[in-house]
């Protein structure tokens, strides 16, 4: 497959670029699908941010009242009464801010978890609708990284970064209004500091963002390689490739280290720079503010709009100690908020890289299914007329609506499959099957033999429409399979693959996977048919024995028997046996062969086998070579011809 092979996986992946509109698309989902929660969260953010940012106003008022008490403008009792009012007001506002923050935490948790749940559902739902080609060209570990790292990056964004950024913007806006109201000149110093911070953020933060995006991609590549090596650990050890796999992993891991190191280095450099710019700004404001105060210390200061308008009138304008002290606190808070923005930007960039990978998967073209012929339960009267029924009769028919006249015809499902001059290539302009023609009569056993890569499995992949042909036609009971809905087509096929896949659950659950509504009795019958019943009853809990890790507690032969039983329970009229006995020893094969003979009785069966002893009884044996059928006939006919099959069977020519 395109994504397999150590040299390919060990190569250092290039740094990709993020697609445009990722943030806009993400915000649209949040504001459209979660409008009430987002609105509630926005209100909480606004109240909390404003409550936390107007402390300077109250602090300035406290200093002003205290100054009037010192100057004997206020009596002590009057001054303390004013200060008490201010303190009570501050307590109320801070309490309101605390309530808003607590509520925001609850709303944020609900919004975040609901959003992540829905995103995982969307990803999994889309994944189930993707064509097999997608999984052939994407490492499984890389896909898993979308469910883990990329989803976690979105969690960080929704639960922390976006609320923090919104809160910071509101806080900065509030502080700006208050500072401009009190002193234009001191605010000008803050503006200069902001320009310096923005310049540093653009230069250093831009590089950090680029490497954080690369880090998110490198994590997926690294996990994909690890997953691949874990699955192929036996192969690695058999061929003594431990050192090679370590070497290849080091390449991938070194790339992850390189981009992560650069991303975090630039991020860690940026924060001290911003804090130091804030400290310098703090010192300059203190120096200038004190200078203005000393220069105008004999001027009686009126607060409010007078100070604002007077600020436009000359280089200096009246200030008080209370304003300077309050302004210093607000300037410090302003610088800290800017630091928060630069800190959250990295999380936003990582989340955007993750969202980009998620949206890339969601934007993949799903498996196209333009079929309109469906498979229905049928009943047949004594005259051979076919009727659709809701009852399970054990008989099936193809329901074929005709758009021309609106009529519906029913064709009994018999299992006749015809390939008519079929050409196919996995990659465009590279044909792997050439002019393949096969006719499988209902109940016939068709066997495919040939070297690896000859096209045996490819033919069966075309029958169940995992891939679509480039030229020619495939007909099922006389109907072009392109007209049949893929789900209905595959329901009519029972498949036993070379690689068994068992799922976490009981033995009975795994057999029933072939037919979810199968009764316990049907499961028992299928297991007996596959000769799996005896070993199942010897398991600790029989059919209720739990299987984990792809049935690791079973032998390879037992796992294959369960796979055959799973195909048997679906009771399909067409069976595909793709190397079904390749993992079973000769003695077990004889046991399984009896079961498969019963399973194949009365069904159209396609058999792919390397052991030629398993295809002797086939009605037709097709010998393939480089995507072409070079011989066909039954065992006796092919032996008599003394061609390629004869050479394979007698050992004069190795199958591989």
Q: What are the counts of helices (DSSP H) followed by strands (DSSP E) for the chain?
A: 24, 16
What is the per-residue pLDDT for 12? 41
The least confident of 7-21, 334-348, 361-375, 396-410 is 7-21
Here the contacts of 298-303 (C-beta below 8 Å, separation 24 or greater) are 303/64, 303/182
3-state secondary structure at position 376: strand
Q: What is the pLDDT, as a whole number, of residue 262?
A: 81
Is the pLDDT score of 203 beyond 70? yes
User: What CATH number labels 20-362?
Assistant: 1.20.1560.10
Whether the predicted pLDDT of 457 surpasses 80: yes
Residue 29 pLDDT greater than 60, yes or no = yes
Confirm if 216 and 354 have CB atoms less than 8 A apart.
Answer: yes
pLDDT, residue 14, reads 46
Q: CA 321 to CA 327: how far, in whole Å?
A: 10
Q: How confident is the model at residue 424 (pLDDT cuts 50, 70, 90)?
A: very high
Rounded distance between C-alpha atoms, residue 119 and residue 130, angstroms: 16
**Encoded tokens for 370:** 């333009």
Helical residues (DSSP H) of 446-555, grouped into ranges? 456-463, 486-491, 507-512, 520-529, 533-537
**Pairwise pLDDT comparison (1 vs 559), residue with the higher score:** 559
pLDDT of res. 1 = 37
pLDDT at 440: 92
Nearest to 466 by CA among 483, 449, 490: 490
Q: Using an 8 Å Cβ cutoff, are 565 and 534 in contact?
A: no
User: Read out DSSP for 69-125?
Assistant: HHTTSS-HHHHHHHHHHHHHHHHHHHHHHHHHHHHHHHHHHHHHHHHHHHHHHHHHH
Flag whether pLDDT at 532 surpasses 80.
Answer: yes
Could you give the percent of the chain with pLDDT greater than 70? 82
Rounded to the nearest integer, the mean pLDDT of the chain is 80
Residue 456 contacts residue 608 (beta carbons within 8 Å): yes
Q: Parallel, antiparallel, or unpaired: how do β-strands 445-449 and 620-625 relate?
A: parallel
pLDDT of 232:
67
Angstrom distance (rounded) from CA 631 to CA 92: 91
Contact 463, 576 (CB under 8 A): yes
Q: Is 17 exposed, middle or buried (0-12, 13-18, 19+ CB in 10 A)?
A: exposed
Give tens-digit pLDDT for 485-529: 998 998 898 888 777 788 888 999 989 988 888 889 999 988 988
Q: Residue 465's CB: how many other CB atoms inside 10 A? A: 23
Secondary structure of 133-194 in the HEC alphabet?
HHHHCCCHHHHHHHHHHHHHHHHHHHHHHHHHHHHHHHHHHHHHHHHHHHCHHHHHHHHHHH
Query: Using CA atoms, how far apart are residues 208 and 265, in angstroms rounded to an integer?
Result: 8
Q: What is the pLDDT of residue 191?
A: 86
pLDDT of 8 reads 40
- Please count the other Cβ atoms lying within 10 Å of the Cβ belonging to residue 305: 9
Strand-by-strand arrangement of the 374-380 sheet: 386-388, 374-380, 396-401, 408-412
* pLDDT tens-place string over residues 549-577: 677 778 877 888 888 888 888 888 898 88
The 3-state DSSP class for residue 255 equals helix
For residue 321, what pLDDT band results from cuts at 50, 70 and 90?
low
Instruction: Give the Cα separation of 289 and 51 in Å (integer).
Output: 26
Confidence (pLDDT) at 107: 92
| CA–CA dist 115, 33 (Å, integer) | 9
Lowest-confidence pick of 6-10, 128-132, 558-562, 587-591: 6-10
| 285/330 Cα distance (integer angstroms) | 11
Instruction: Report residue 628's pLDDT band, with 50, 70 and 90 as the boundaries.
Output: very high
3-state secondary structure of 316: coil
Cβ atoms within 10 Å, residue 362: 15
Is pLDDT above 70 for 309? Answer: no
The CATH number that domain 417-492+572-650 falls under is 3.40.50.300
Whole-number Å distance between alpha carbons of 397 and 395: 7
What pLDDT digit, counting tens, does each position of 216-249 carry?
778 777 877 777 777 666 566 656 677 877 888 8
From the list 609, 608, 570, 614, the residue with the least C-alpha distance to 594 is 614
pTM of the full predicted structure?
0.71
The predicted structure's pLDDT at residue 477: 93
Looking at residue 212, its pLDDT comes to: 75
How is the beta sheet containing 445-449 ordered, strand by strand?
A: 493-496, 574-578, 604-608, 445-449, 620-625, 628-633
Distance between CA atoms of residues 622 and 421, nearest Å: 15
Q: What is the mean pLDDT of residues 27-49?
A: 91
pLDDT tens digits, 253-276:
888 888 888 877 777 777 778 778
Give residue 128's pLDDT band: very low, low, confident or very high (50, 70, 90).
confident
Q: Which string of b and e fits 126-138 if b means at least 16 CB within 10 Å?
A: ebeebbeebeeeb
Of 493, 511, 506, the closest CA to residue 604 belongs to 493
Q: Which two tokens stand for residue 502?
A: 């068992």
Among 627, 508, 532, residue whose Cα is nearest residue 580: 532
Task: Report the pLDDT value the prediction gives residue 185, as an integer from 0 to 100.
Answer: 80
Q: What is the mean pLDDT of residues 370-380?
A: 90
- SS3 state at 401: strand
- Which has more pLDDT, 378 or 307? 378
Q: What residue segments make up the domains of the chain, in order of their start?
A: 20-362, 417-492+572-650
């Amino acid at each position: 497959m395109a994504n397999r092979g150590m040299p390919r996986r060990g190569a250092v992946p290039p740094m990709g670029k993020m697609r445009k509109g990722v943030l806009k698309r993400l915000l649209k989902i949040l504001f459209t699908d979660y409008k009430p929660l987002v609105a509630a969260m926005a209100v909480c953010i606004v109240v909390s941010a404003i409550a936390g940012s107007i402390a300077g106003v109250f602090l300035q008022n406290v200093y002003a009242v205290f100054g009037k008490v010192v100057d004997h403008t206020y009596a002590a009792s009057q001054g303390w009464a004013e200060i008490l009012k201010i303190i009570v007001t501050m307590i109320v506002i801070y309490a309101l801010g605390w309530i808003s923050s607590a509520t925001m935490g609850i709303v944020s948790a609900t919004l975040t978890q609901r959003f992540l749940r829905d995103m995982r559902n969307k990803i999994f739902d889309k994944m189930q609708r993707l064509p097999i080609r997608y999984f052939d060209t994407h490492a499984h570990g890389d896909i898993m990284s979308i469910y883990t790292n990329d989803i976690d990056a979105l969690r960080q964004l929704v639960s922390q970064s976006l609320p923090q950024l919104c809160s910071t913007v509101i806080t900065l806006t509030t502080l700006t209004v208050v500072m401009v109201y009190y002193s234009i000149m001191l605010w000008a110093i803050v503006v200069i500091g902001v320009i310096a911070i923005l310049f540093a953020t653009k230069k250093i933060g831009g590089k950090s963002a680029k490497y954080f995006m690369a880090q998110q991609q490198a994590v997926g590549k690294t996990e994909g390689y690890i997953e691949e090596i874990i699955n192929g650990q036996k192969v690695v050890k058999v061929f003594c490739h431990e050192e090679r796999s370590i070497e290849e992993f080091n390449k991938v891991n070194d790339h992850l280290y390189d981009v992560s190191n650069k991303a975090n280095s630039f991020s860690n450099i940026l924060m001290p720079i911003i804090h130091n710019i804030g400290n310098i700004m703090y010192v300059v404001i203190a120096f200038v503010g004190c200078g203005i105060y000393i220069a105008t210390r004999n001027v009686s200061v009126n607060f409010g709009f007078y100070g604002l308008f007077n600020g436009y009138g000359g280089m200096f304008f009246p200030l008080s100690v209370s304003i300077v002290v309050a302004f210093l606190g607000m300037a410090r808070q302003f610088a800290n908020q800017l630091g928060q923005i630069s800190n959250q930007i990295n999380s936003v960039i990582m989340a955007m890289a993750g969202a980009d990978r998620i949206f890339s998967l969601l934007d993949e073209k799903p498996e196209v299914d333009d079929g309109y012929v469906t498979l229905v339960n049928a009943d047949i009267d004594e005259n051979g007329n076919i009727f659709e029924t809701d009852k399970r009769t054990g008989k099936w028919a193809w329901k074929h609506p005709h758009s021309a006249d609106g009529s519906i015809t029913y064709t009994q499902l018999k299992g006749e499959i015809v390939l008519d001059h079929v050409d196919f290539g996995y990659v465009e302009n590279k044909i792997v099957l050439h002019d393949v023609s096969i006719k499988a009569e209902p109940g016939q056993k068709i066997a495919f033999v040939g070297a690896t890569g000859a096209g045996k499995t490819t033919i069966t992949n075309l029958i169940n429409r995992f891939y679509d042909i480039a030229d020619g036609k495939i007909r099922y009971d006389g109907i072009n399979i392109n007209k049949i809905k893929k789900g209905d087509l595959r329901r009519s096929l029972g498949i036993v693959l070379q690689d068994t896949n068992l799922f976490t659950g009981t033995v009975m659950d795994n057999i029933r996977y072939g037919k979810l509504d199968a009764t316990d009795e049907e499961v028992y019958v299928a297991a007996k048919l596959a000769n799996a019943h005896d070993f199942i009853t010897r398991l600790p809990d029989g059919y209720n024995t739990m299987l984990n890790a792809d049935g690791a507690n079973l032998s390879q032969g037992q796992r294959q028997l369960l796979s055959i039983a799973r195909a048997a329970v679906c009771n399909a009229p067409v069976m595909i046996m793709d190397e079904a006995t390749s993992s079973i020893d000769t003695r077990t094969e004889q046991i399984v062969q009896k079961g498969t003979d019963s399973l194949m009785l009365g069904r159209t069966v396609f058999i792919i086998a390397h052991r030629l002893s398993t295809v002797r009884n086939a009605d037709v044996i097709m010998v393939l070579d480089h995507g072409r059928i070079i011989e066909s006939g039954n065992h006796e006919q092919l032996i008599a011809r003394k061609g390629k099959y004869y050479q394979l069977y007698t050992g004069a020519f190795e199958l591989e």
